[in-house]
């Protein structure tokens, strides 16, 4: 019997396992899927004490940062790394592989309402995808967090989700592959190992994934922001340069490295040794190199483009090894080998490059002058060129990837877009410079956008539901954004002004100008403007900004140089002359003729950030906030201080406070009523009226107070989490009773269904079987009638020749005889019984009888052993000699012949010695009768291979050679006398020998075989004549009597009276 079972997974989801066909149907449940039916998200609220709540909005003490972090801790301990703040996903990096990213998990989240399953990055991805499809409005997913928090991995998971779950064709699959393969390429060229993250993105990335009207990904576009070019020439201790350099050195083939002038040792290159960290245990540069090479092919890079790209990467390493010497004011390059490599790899003239690296071109009054560089200036020019070459190549790489991802079909221009923003989070280091200033400015803008969009979405939802909007007080960071970007008065404007003004502008003059312009601003302070307490923790070269996430001190050293990001004109000219096609695209000749000074780095970043804000404002955003649990990259370790720092910098508490300013929980009437209707008798099991009336009836039954909830047009709004927890606890208690009823109903339903199926099947089988039986009976009756009819007709014609009328009868008679014969065959060769055959089978029966007998004889003979065969041969000879001739023969038949009647101890050793090598074949005790007085004497008769030997005690009394034996005579009576006839002229013999044996048949048979005298054995009736010697004869008379008597008669004959045992 099938049971109705449920499964509670650690996230709190309730899953109905699949049935036999892989599907489950739950009455009153709307979700049907191959992996089971999922209950909605609130199922986990009953486990909140152990695993926390899945949505921070449901925290009772939502203003407490400690309660917020404790909820994160509970979930992190249970490997539940995802939590919601309303529609915002908070993700904690587990620093280990979790089995929650399989294809089955993707299927579980596909097409499911956002709150029907536990929090997951797939839920955010699917929600954006369904919103894009349903509303035909572009979406974007903003992923932020500090380095090491898992932003890059989150964006990968989203792309993988779309690649697996979206519709696909051959063309679409190519786009999917290129989208996925763009990640390892961008990571190789834009990511690096830092103190906080072994795969830290050192650039911001915004990717648009384009979908056609079917929902299939057909294209993409990537925008990169603020690549950390300074890393090319300098890394902090414990950090590395970009991955691609190490991948090339470790994974490149020997021929490739030889052609690039590189050695397989990163310690040989100045740009790779400053961090003193060439190898990292968690990074396999060799295998990553294979992945990157394959990805470049998939994306569509030609072999020539790959070769030119690698030439540029190698040239950057060679730039770092260019060494200067000479006088301080007039330096020269001492490493000619590097110049040769650079000349070949970049396709430029070596002498022109050497001059450009040691001089700068000055245009004064229309004249061009070459001014020599000092050692510091030359090193800076070399590093600036290396950074420019790498930075522009990275931009070309992104554009090349965009070209391969571009959607080329003009037939359908109505494409929908989902954007992925993977950008640096708020950064606060011990020493913060220009890069951190730009990154934190970006985060201020994103926070401003986030708060505005969050408040706007809340207000839109309230207005759509007819709920009065209550203004929310929130921390508006517009003042800080203005402080940075305001025209003429903002920090960026002041920085640009200081970079562009004539005269000796330095980082300190920039700081003085900041103090003069922004001195009274509440979010700006310097050492000079600060009070005594702040001065103790600030350097004279620092200024402090009070960001939304906290205070940050920025060191001004390098601000002007990094903002200018200038490259000497003659270095640009050299790069414009390059034969490398990539560099030709990167360094445009029009740049040389353009007299306008290029925008500064800060201005460019400000402009690109403004465009990004426009892009994001035009889309419906979703948010993923990534958190790093510890700095040691250890799984299971939860550093509360570090996490509190990130919670603050990500503005999560502010986000939660805005989300909770109104109502903590809101759900559609249908979902709410479906979940909790069992708590009210009026709504259980089904509510047939309007949904709003059903919800109103339900909350009144539950005793909700008016201030605890509001009813909108399609949703119920609950203000306090404790109200929701109360109803969840009541539902948990109710579930046990419901489960029992459901199980009972389910069992009853299954049994009834099973019974009805069995009953229907039984009726069908019975009807079918009855029909079969009726058909069989009718068929048997017909066959029986036909058989009887044919049998009677055959019996009538039985004496006639075979004809159609009697053939059946005759065949039956034959068949009956043969079956009877089969059962009554003779059991052995002596069994002479045989069934009487019909007249037609007499001849056949006789043949069968002979064949049967032959077969039994053959079988019998086959089983006879050699000893038994010898015995049978002797018995056959005895039969030939004595059968029907001698009275006592029948009594000898059942008795086996023996090899000898005398054992070894019965023979005298002297006899054995006298016989010598003659082999004795048979021995038997006999009685010898003298020829004259017929006196009886005990003797032993021995048969050897050549003679008959008669023994008296220890002496051989007589030896008769078989050749001298004329014949053997024996009577036909039952006595044991026999006479051995010898030639009368033989001097060795005294006459014929008269002997008596108790085993006369056996003895004479053995003698006849040994002497080959079988035909010389004579069976006489009445008397036997024998030779006494010297021509005299004797007679033995035989007469039948009652007993055996042997005596000398009055007439001088030997009289033998023997009883007759058989009548012949």
As annotated, the active-site residues are: 147-148, 152, 197, 200-201, 425, 427
Which of these, 810, 797, 893, 421, lies nearest to 617 by C-alpha position?
Answer: 421
Secondary structure of residue 524 in the 3-state scheme: strand
CA gyration radius, the chain: 60
**Contact of 90 with 72, CB cutoff 8 Å:** yes
The torsion angles phi and psi of 835, rounded to 5 degrees, stand at: -60, 150
The side-by-side arrangement of strands in the sheet containing 204-211 is 82-85, 88-92, 620-627, 139-144, 416-422, 204-211, 217-225
> 3-class secondary structure for 127-196?
HHHHHHHHHCCCEEEEEECCCCCCHHHHHHHHHHHHHHHCCCCHHHHHHHHHHHHHHHHHHHHHEECCCC
**Contact of 639 with 630, CB cutoff 8 Å:** yes
Q: Which two tokens mark 422?
A: 């993977």
Instruction: Give CA–CA dist 537/533, Å, rounded.
Output: 8
**Contact of 643 with 91, CB cutoff 8 Å:** no
Cis peptide before 58 (omega within 30 of 0): no
Instruction: Give CA–CA dist 386/648, Å, rounded.
Output: 38
Residue 419 pairs in a beta bridge with 140, 208
Q: Which two tokens mark 126?
A: 């699917």
Total residue length of the chain: 1064
Q: Which two tokens mark 188?
A: 């190789």
Instruction: Give CA–CA dist 619/207, Å, rounded.
Output: 13
Give the angle 748-750-752 at the CA atoms, nearest 5°. Answer: 65
Using CB atoms within 10 Å of the CB of residue 767, give its burial: 0 to 12 exposed, 13 to 18 middle, 19+ buried: exposed
Say which DSSP state 710 is in.
E
The torsion angles phi and psi of 222, rounded to 5 degrees, stand at: -120, 135
Secondary structure of residue 809 in the 3-state scheme: helix
Which residues, including other chains, have CB under 8 Å from residue 325's CB and lie 6 or more apart? 331, 332, 333, 334
Strand 7-8 and strand 14-16: the pairing is antiparallel
Instruction: Give CA–CA dist 331/163, Å, rounded.
Output: 56
Helix 491-500 to helix 507-518 angle (10° resolution) is 140
Dihedral, CA of residue 710, residue 712, residue 715 and residue 718, to nearest 10:
-10
Residue 418 pairs in a beta bridge with 139, 209
Which of these, 721, 718, 702, lies nearest to 710 by C-alpha position?
Answer: 718
- Work out the number of other CB atoms within 10 angstroms of the CB of residue 257: 17
Helix 285-299 to helix 375-405 angle (10° resolution) is 50
Cis peptide before 685 (omega within 30 of 0): yes
Say which DSSP state 232 is in.
G
Instruction: Give CA–CA dist 282/284, Å, rounded.
Output: 7
Strand 88-92 and strand 82-85: the pairing is antiparallel
N-terminal to C-terminal alpha carbon distance within the chain: 90
> 3-class secondary structure for 9-30?
CCCCCEEECCCCCCCCCCCCCC
């Amino acid at each position: 019997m099938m049971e109705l079972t449920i499964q509670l997974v650690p996230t709190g989801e309730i899953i109905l396992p699949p049935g036999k066909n892989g599907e489950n149907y739950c009455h009153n449940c709307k979700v049907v899927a191959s992996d089971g039916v999922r209950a909605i998200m609130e199922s986990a609220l009953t486990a909140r004490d152990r695993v926390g709540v899945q949505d921070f909005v449901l925290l009772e003490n939502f203003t407490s940062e400690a309660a917020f972090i404790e909820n994160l801790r509970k979930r992190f301990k249970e490997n539940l790394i995802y939590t919601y703040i309303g529609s915002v996903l908070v993700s904690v990096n587990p620093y280990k592989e979790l089995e929650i990213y399989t294809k089955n998990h993707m299927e579980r989240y596909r097409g499911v309402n956002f709150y029907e399953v536990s929090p997951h990055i797939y839920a955010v991805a699917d929600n954006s995808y369904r919103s894009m499809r349903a509303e035909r409005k572009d979406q974007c997913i903003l992923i932020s967090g500090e380095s090491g928090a898992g932003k890059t991995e989150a964006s990968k998971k989203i792309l993988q989700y779309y690649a697996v779950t979206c519709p696909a064709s051959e063309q679409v699959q190519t786009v999917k592959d290129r989208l996925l393969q763009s990640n390892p390429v961008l990571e190789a060229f834009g990511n690096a190992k830092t103190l906080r993250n072994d795969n830290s993105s050192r650039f911001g990335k915004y990717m648009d994934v384009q979908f056609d009207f079917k929902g299939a990904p057909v294209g993409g576009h990537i925008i990169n922001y603020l690549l950390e070019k300074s890393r090319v020439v300098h890394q902090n201790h414990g950090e590395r340069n970009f991955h691609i350099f190490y991948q090339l050195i470790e994974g490149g083939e020997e021929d490739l490295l030889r052609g690039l002038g590189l050695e397989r040792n990163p310690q040989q290159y100045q740009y790779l040794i400053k961090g003193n960290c060439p190898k990292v245990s968690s990074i396999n540069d060799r295998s990553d190199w294979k992945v990157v090479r394959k990805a470049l092919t998939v994306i569509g890079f030609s072999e020539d483009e790959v070769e030119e790209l690698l030439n540029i990467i190698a040239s950057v390493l060679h730039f770092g090894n260019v060494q200067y010497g000479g006088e301080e004011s007039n330096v020269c390059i001492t490493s000619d080998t590097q110049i040769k490599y650079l000349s070949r790899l970049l396709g430029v003239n070596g002498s022109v490059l050497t001059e450009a690296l040691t001089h700068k071109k000055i245009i004064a009054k229309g004249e061009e002058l070459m001014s020599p560089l000092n050692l510091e200036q030359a090193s800076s020019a070399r590093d600036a060129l290396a950074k420019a070459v790498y930075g522009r190549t990275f931009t070309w790489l992104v554009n090349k990837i965009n070209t391969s991802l571009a959607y080329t079909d003009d037939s359908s221009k109505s494409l929908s877009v989902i954007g992925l923003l993977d950008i640096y989070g708020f950064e606060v280091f011990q020493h913060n410079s220009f890069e951190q200033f730009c990154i934190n400015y970006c985060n201020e803008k994103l926070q401003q956008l986030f708060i505005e969009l969050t408040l706007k979405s809340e207000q839109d939802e309230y207005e759509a539901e007819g709920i009065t909007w209550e203004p929310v007080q929130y921390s508006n960071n517009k003042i800080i954004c203005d402080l940075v970007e305001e025209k003429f008065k903002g920090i960026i404007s002041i920085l640009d002004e200081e970079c562009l003004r004539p005269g000796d502008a330095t980082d300190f003059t920039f700081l003085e100008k900041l103090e003069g312009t922004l001195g009274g601003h509440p979010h700006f302070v310097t050492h000079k403007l600060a009070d005594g307490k702040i001065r103790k923790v600030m350097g004279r070269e620092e200024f402090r900004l009070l960001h939304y996430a906290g205070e940050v001190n920025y060191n001004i050293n390098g601000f002007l140089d990094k903002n200018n990001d200038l490259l000497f004109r003659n270095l640009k000219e050299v790069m414009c002359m390059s034969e490398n096609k990539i560099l030709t695209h990167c360094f445009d000749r029009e740049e040389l003729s353009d007299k306008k000074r290029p925008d500064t780095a800060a201005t460019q970043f400000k402009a690109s950030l403004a465009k990004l804000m426009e892009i994001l404002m035009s889309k419906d955003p979703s948010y993923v906030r990534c958190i790093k649990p510890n700095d040691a990259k250890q799984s299971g370790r939860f550093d509360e201080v570090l996490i509190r720092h990130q919670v603050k910098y990500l503005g999560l508490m502010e986000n939660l406070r805005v989300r909770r300013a109104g109502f903590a929980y809101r759900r559609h009437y249908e979902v709410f009523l479906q979940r909790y209707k069992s708590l009210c008798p009026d709504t259980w099991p089904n509510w047939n009226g309007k949904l709003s009336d059903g919800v109103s009836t339900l909350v009144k039954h539950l005793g909700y107070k008016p201030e605890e909830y509001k009813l909108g047009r399609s949703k119920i709004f609950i203000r306090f989490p404790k109200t929701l927890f109360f109803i969840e606890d009541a539902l948990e208690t109710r579930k046990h009773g419901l489960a029992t009823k459901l199980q009972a109903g389910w069992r009853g339903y299954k049994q009834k269904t099973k019974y009805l199926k069995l009953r229907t099947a039984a009726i069908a089988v019975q009807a079918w079987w009855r029909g079969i039986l009726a058909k069989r009976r009718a068929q048997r009756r017909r066959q029986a009638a036909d058989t009887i009819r044919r049998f009677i007709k055959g019996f009538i014609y039985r004496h006639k020749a075979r004809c159609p009328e009697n053939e059946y009868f005759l065949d039956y008679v034959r068949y009956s005889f043969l079956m009877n014969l089969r059962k009554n065959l003779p059991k052995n060769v002596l069994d002479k019984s045989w069934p009487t055959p019909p007249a037609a089978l007499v001849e056949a029966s006789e043949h069968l009888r002979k064949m049967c007998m032959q077969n039994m004889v053959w079988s019998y003979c086959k089983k006879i052993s050699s000893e038994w065969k010898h015995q049978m041969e002797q018995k056959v000879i005895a039969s030939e000699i004595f059968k029907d001739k001698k009275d006592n023969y029948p009594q000898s038949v059942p008795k086996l012949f023996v090899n000898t009647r005398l054992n070894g101890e019965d023979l005298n050793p002297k006899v054995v010695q006298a016989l010598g090598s003659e082999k004795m074949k048979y021995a038997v005790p006999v009685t010898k009768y003298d020829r004259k007085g017929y006196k009886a004497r005990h003797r032993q008769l021995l048969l050897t291979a050549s003679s008959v030997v008669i023994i008296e005690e220890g002496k051989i009394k007589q030896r008769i050679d078989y050749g001298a034996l004329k014949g053997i005579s024996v009577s036909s009576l039952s006595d044991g006398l026999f006479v051995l006839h010898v030639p009368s002229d033989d001097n060795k013999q005294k006459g014929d020998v008269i002997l008596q044996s108790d085993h006369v048949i056996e003895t004479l048979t053995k003698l006849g075989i040994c002497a080959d005298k079988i035909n010389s054995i004579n069976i006489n009736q009445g008397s036997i004549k024998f030779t006494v010697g010297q021509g005299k004869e004797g007679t033995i008379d035989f007469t039948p009597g009652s007993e055996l008597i042997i005596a000398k008669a009055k007439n001088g004959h030997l009289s033998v009276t023997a009883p007759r045992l058989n009548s012949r």
